[in-house]
């Protein structure tokens, strides 16, 4: 039982599952084409919940980096390249502070949800506007980013608290051992 194999296997399955739900949303509504704002707001509902529960379940050292790298690779394979830099940068930052406060717990899951939502939302908004080019309906301005940042933060914190509630239920009912 090697520990790095467990981390790699769990992070691969969680990131692919999060991608599958996200692809279901974005393909069904084709939200990436309407405006770059709608896509992150849809991505931060159930896919973000799966990712935060994945951090809590894995609970060992390079979990955030591996989930970020594998999901970036999967998004690049479906050629949604404007989501890749945000995912990688947020993964590196989450790995940095999870080194200090740990992966599991209410405080950790709130911080993970908040940082992932804010960084990934803003970066995917900027890169998505570049991806759409002159055809995008809404222009990227600094004031718009300042308005959107609290909205992403609130959404990430709400999803983080719900995912901690689900994980706490799973711990108490004995689905997750250790």
Partner 1 sequence: MRVNFVTGIFFVSALTAAGILTTAVIPFLATIPLIRRKIIIIVEIAIISISLLILYYTSRFYFYPYSFRGLLYVNLYFIASEYIDKASIVDVLGEAGVPIAVALSYYPYLTSIVRDVVFYSRARKKNVFRVTLPIIVQLVKSVQDIWITYNLKLFGNFRKDKIKITSSEIVLLLYGFATLCLSFLLKV
The residues that touch partner 1, with contacts defined as CB under 8 A, are 1, 5-6, 9-10, 13-14, 17, 20, 23, 26-30, 32-34, 45-46, 49-50, 53, 57, 77-80, 135, 162, 165-166, 169-170, 175-176
Residue among 51, 19, 39 at smallest CA distance from 167: 51
In angstroms, rounded to a whole number, what is the distance separating the alpha carbons of residues 58 and 4?
11
Cβ at position 11, least distance to partner 1 in Å: 10
In the complex with partner 1, which residue's Cβ is closer, 141 or 178?
Answer: 178
At 175, which helix (H) or strand (E)? Answer: none
Does residue 141 contact residue 114 with C-beta atoms inside 8 Å?
Answer: no
In the complex with partner 1, which residue's Cβ is closer, 106 or 166?
Answer: 166
In the complex with partner 1, which residue's Cβ is closer, 53 or 70?
Answer: 53
In angstroms, rounded to a whole number, what is the distance separating the alpha carbons of residues 51 and 39?
17
In angstroms, rounded to a whole number, what is the distance separating the alpha carbons of residues 15 and 12?
5
Cβ at position 102, least distance to partner 1 in Å: 19
In the complex with partner 1, which residue's Cβ is closer, 50 or 64?
Answer: 50
Cβ at position 10, least distance to partner 1 in Å: 6
Cβ at position 70, least distance to partner 1 in Å: 14
| Rg of the Cα atoms in the chain | 16
């Amino acid at each position: 039982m090697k520990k790095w194999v467990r981390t790699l296997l769990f992070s691969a399955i969680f990131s692919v599952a999060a991608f599958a739900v996200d692809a279901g949303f974005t393909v069904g509504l084709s939200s990436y084409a309407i405006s770059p704002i709608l896509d992150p707001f849809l991505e931060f509902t159930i896919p973000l919940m799966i990712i935060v529960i994945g951090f809590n379940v894995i609970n060992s050292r390079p979990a955030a980096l591996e989930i970020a790298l594998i999901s970036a690779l999967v998004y690049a394979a479906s050629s949604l390249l404007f989501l890749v830099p945000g995912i990688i940068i947020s993964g590196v930052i989450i790995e940095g502070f999870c080194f200090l406060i740990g992966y599991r717990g209410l405080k950790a899951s709130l911080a993970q949800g908040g940082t992932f939502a804010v960084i990934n939302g803003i970066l995917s908004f900027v890169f998505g506007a570049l991806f759409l080019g002159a055809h995008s309906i809404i222009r990227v301005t600094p004031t718009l980013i300042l308005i959107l940042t609290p909205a992403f933060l609130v959404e990430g914190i709400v999803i983080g608290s719900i995912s901690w509630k689900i994980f706490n239920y799973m711990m108490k009912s004995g689905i997750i051992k250790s």
